[in-house]
Structure 1
Amino acid sequence: MAILTDLGALVWGYIIPFLFVLTIVVFFHELGHFLIARLCGVKVAAFSVGFGRELVGFNDRQGTRWKISLIPLGGYVKFVGDDNAASVPDRAAVEAMSEEERRGSFMGKSVGQRAAVVAAGPFANFILAIVIFAALFSIYGRSYSVPRVDAVHEQSAALEAGFMPGDVVLSVDGEKIQSFGDLQRIVSISADIPLAITVERDGKEVDLVATPKRREITDRFGNVQKIGLLGLSQNTQPDDRYTVSFGPLEAVGEGARETWHVISRTGIFVAGIFSGREDADQLGGPIRVAQYSGQVATLGLAALMNLAAVLSVSIGLINLMPVPMLDGGHLLFYAYEATVGRPLPDKVQDVGFRIGLALVFMLMIFATFNDVKSLVGVDVGW
């Protein structure tokens, strides 16, 4: 009986929230490909949520097979003339087509149309994030707390930089700071990076330079993260906290700014991993996403949708990486074709797709290993 209870808690507490978030993000990614493909006259053979054996499905009037498949960890749009779900062309099938059939295939379209179809998936993820953020801001508004420093910790980066209690942070590297949360988000991904910070002190502006120190922290769910810290704390007074309400159009603008913030900060973090400044063991895979989904779900639907928006941005960015098999790899091939006037030789593309597939699998294995290591708390000395 206890086993059944634990299994039910696992399913409803982690798996269902994870699949809810992942399905939303993947569906809109593939919908972006699908809509622009239809706009460009590309015939779509299948639209699948999930991989593997089909569970349920139907054909629409255009001949597209819409289906839900057995393995709910992604999805794909398959165009006429594709060899597989990654839009690798089936050249033999394309050559065997009539002229009219070829015009309706993905490979029969111009390089600009193909690039638009491929880019539409990641950009649909960004649009989804904007819509989710805008809806949340429109419904709940946005809470701010005046970025006033109440205490400066001993032996901290803030103390070394000259912060004093009562300072109000105005900007970081020229970026205006509206809330203490804005400061925390910038500092957390800026470990070991000097930051030019302007504060208001006794009615005057004072310029400081502080370098956040990398520290391990444990969040409310027990997850350990390595982030940058200045060593400041805030005891928010009622007068320092306020909520801003947004109309529909204002909420869209705020949603776009929040989406751009997530894009830029994610880009900084990924660049830090490649440069060696950030630890690669912070990369997570499906297990960690499921874990976070379940944890965030306990905070309510709004928090879970916020996670969906952040994940949508991440999926969009990952797919734009210039790796064959991903959307960015296809765009790289098309950029070559547009520049030179002819596509890469078939053999070169085939090798590129194989290398891309290997890289994607290696990344998945590495991320999953990080997930397992995080769950069991093992230090393997990366």
Structure 2
Amino acid sequence: MPDWLLSVPAFIVAIGLLVAVHEYGHFWVARRMGVRVLRYSIGFGAKLWGRTSSRSGTEYWLSAIPLGGYVKMLDEREGPVPDADKPYAFNRQSVGKRMAIVAAGPAVNFAFAIVAYWLVFMLGVAGIKPVIGDVPEDTRAAAAGLSEGQHIVAVAGRETPTWQDLRLTLIEQALAGGEVPLSVTDGEGGDAREVRLDMTGVSADPERLFGELGLAPYRPDGTPVIAEALSGEPADAAGLRAGDKVLAAGGEPMRDPQALVDWVKAHPGETVSLRIRRDGREREVRVSLDAMTVDGERVGRLGAQLGIDSDEWAALQTERRLGPLAAVPAALEQTWSVSALTVRLMGRMLVGDVSWKNISGPIQIANYAGKTASVGLEAFIGFLALVSVSLAVLNLLPVPVLDGGHLLYYAIELVRGRPLSEEAQAMGQQLGMVALLLLMSLAFYNDILRLLS
């Protein structure tokens, strides 16, 4: 099945749900504050479906462009309002009420993330144990005394049950800098000892951090297995199918999936021979590899998703599952950690310490949505939690046209005792729109580059 057949509906479900949650925050608080809501729309543009409440008169819309949504409230700035209805207009409310209505959207996104992480921890978080792979000489990891096969069980006193936990924690520590204590064992269940990893001046960029430290996950030997031959790609055209074990390529034994990936990349556009095992029998398969350009280099492409056949790999898999009560503080901590890390990484982007290539747009989000949906329910819920946090943080930025920009205007109004002039607010909105368009353009540019590579 082509990836987009899952990515597109998963993306629509994810964005639709998260936008609905965000806008419902504005909607619910506005109603509680006595403001009349004229329309609650999921999506922008033309109405695809809608109904009007006979009791409140609110229109509920499902609109054509599924990249956002809005709540339209009664407001004298947007049109004439009858005298009898003026007490229900948004602009007639106190500054405190207006701030509460605006802040409710991001607040509900944070609440959604907490609930989502709570569900994930109860369903079970699958991952790979934080076992270190080969440690190159003259790296910070080597200087700390780390070596292949060791388990990093905690960083600065914070447990790291999976490689993903280790990754997020080290990114946080890179932002702080300095020496970081690691608790390591020489094998699972062994006695822990402390080593100190020097992270002074190391890049916090997720794309560069682990290379600079000299850390990578442990990769045991294991025969690469075709998990899926993508439709229309060289693997599919050659007759490869799910479950085929790739024993050798061009006569060279393949010790693990990465070895096969590296070998394929080194033979762009060539017709090669793969030795596979299928249903207990070995055979040779001829494959005409595609060629593509990545970072200016011509590389080969097989067009298959790979798995691995290895008991040792299976032993590296782990799962963290918590009860309903224990999952509550874990969900709160995870939401806080992801939120704080997002803010700090954004700050580092502004000063150039973190690459702008880390910004993703709708195409990459759809890609992640499809991949997590294909893995399972808990992975997709975890993805929703992460995007919900990102949506909340982004909306709280003090940029006009975003919720944070409106909150900034209201904060100035509180200090001055009167609002900014309409001209100043309009100019701020225009600047905010330009900034948002530039950010969206950058996100699309990054997405396209990822597609081409």
TM-score tier by shorter-chain length is 0.7 to 0.9
State the match for 1:183 in structure 2.
Answer: 166
Q: Does structure 1 retain, via aligned residues, the 8 Å contact 2:155–2:183?
A: no
Matched, 1:332 2:315: no
Matched, 1:197 2:177: no
State the match for 1:157 in structure 2.
Answer: 140
For residues 249-270 of structure 1, give each alpha carbon's deviation from its aligned partner in whole angstroms, at most 9, with x where no partner exists: 3223222211112112212221
Q: Distance in 2 between matches of 1:318 and 1:349?
A: 20
- 1:249-264 to 2 correspondences below 5 Å: 249-264=325-340
Q: Distance in 1 between matches of 2:147 and 2:329?
A: 35
Q: Distance in 1 between matches of 2:320 and 2:374?
A: 25
Q: Does structure 1 retain, via aligned residues, the 8 Å contact 2:152–2:185?
A: no
Q: Does structure 1 retain, via aligned residues, the 8 Å contact 2:99–2:407?
A: yes
Q: Distance in 2 between matches of 1:252 and 1:376?
A: 42
State the match for 1:130 in structure 2.
Answer: 114
Flag the structure with higher helix content.
Answer: 1
How many correspondences in the alignment? 351
Q: Does structure 2 retain, via aligned residues, the 8 Å contact 1:133–1:258?
A: yes
Letter in 2 for 1:299: V
Q: Distance in 1 between matches of 2:56 and 2:36?
A: 8
TM-score, length-normalised on structure 2? Answer: 0.70
Q: Distance in 2 between matches of 1:282 and 1:239?
A: 32
Q: Distance in 1 between matches of 2:313 and 2:182?
A: 22
The CA deviation at 1:144 is 7.2
Query: Which is greater in Rg?
Result: 2
| Matched residue SS, 1:208 | strand
Q: Does structure 2 retain, via aligned residues, the 8 Å contact 1:189–1:269?
A: no
State the match for 1:300 in structure 2.
Answer: 376
Matched, 1:374 2:450: yes
Q: Does structure 2 retain, via aligned residues, the 8 Å contact 1:262–1:310?
A: yes
Q: Distance in 1 between matches of 2:182 and 2:4?
A: 48
| Matched residue SS, 2:325 | helix
Matched, 1:226 2:226: no
Pair 347,214 (structure 1): closer, same or farther in 2 beyond 3 Å: closer
Higher alpha-carbon deviation: 46-55 or 175-184: 175-184
| Matched residue SS, 1:226 | coil
Letter in 2 for 1:116: A
State the match for 1:113 in structure 2.
Answer: 97
Q: Does structure 1 retain, via aligned residues, the 8 Å contact 2:25–2:108?
A: yes
State the match for 2:432 in structure 1.
Answer: 356
Matched, 1:38 2:34: no
Pair 257,189 (structure 1): closer, same or farther in 2 beyond 3 Å: closer
Matched, 1:54 2:47: yes
Matched, 1:18 2:20: no
The CA deviation at 1:63 is 1.1
Q: Distance in 2 between matches of 1:35 and 1:276?
A: 39
Pair 71,204 (structure 1): closer, same or farther in 2 beyond 3 Å: closer
| Matched residue SS, 1:248 | coil
Q: Does structure 2 retain, via aligned residues, the 8 Å contact 1:170–1:197?
A: no
The CA deviation at 1:364 is 0.9
In structure 1, list runs of 5 or more residues that go unmatched.
Answer: 1-7, 83-88, 217-224, 378-382
| Matched residue SS, 1:107 | helix
Q: Distance in 1 between matches of 2:406 and 2:49?
A: 30
Pair 149,284 (structure 1): closer, same or farther in 2 beyond 3 Å: closer
State the match for 1:313 in structure 2.
Answer: 389
Q: Distance in 2 between matches of 1:180 and 1:290?
A: 24
Q: Does structure 2 retain, via aligned residues, the 8 Å contact 1:38–1:44?
A: yes
Pair 292,168 (structure 1): closer, same or farther in 2 beyond 3 Å: closer
For residues 226-281 of structure 1, give each alpha carbon's deviation from its aligned partner in whole angstroms, at most 9, with x where no partner exists: 24213254478999876554332322322221111211221222122112111102
Q: Distance in 2 between matches of 1:173 and 1:322?
A: 33
Matched, 1:67 2:50: no
The CA deviation at 1:287 is 1.4
TM-score, length-normalised on structure 1? Answer: 0.82
Q: Does structure 1 retain, via aligned residues, the 8 Å contact 2:361–2:443?
A: yes
Pair 215,101 (structure 1): closer, same or farther in 2 beyond 3 Å: closer
Pair 151,28 (structure 1): closer, same or farther in 2 beyond 3 Å: same
In structure 2, list runs of 5 or more residues that go unmatched.
Answer: 221-311
Q: Distance in 2 between matches of 1:73 and 1:369?
A: 17
Higher alpha-carbon deviation: 266-275 or 243-252: 243-252
Q: Distance in 1 between matches of 2:323 and 2:132?
A: 31
The CA deviation at 1:71 is 1.2
State the match for 2:197 in structure 1.
Answer: 209
Pair 371,168 (structure 1): closer, same or farther in 2 beyond 3 Å: closer
State the match for 2:256 in structure 1.
Answer: none
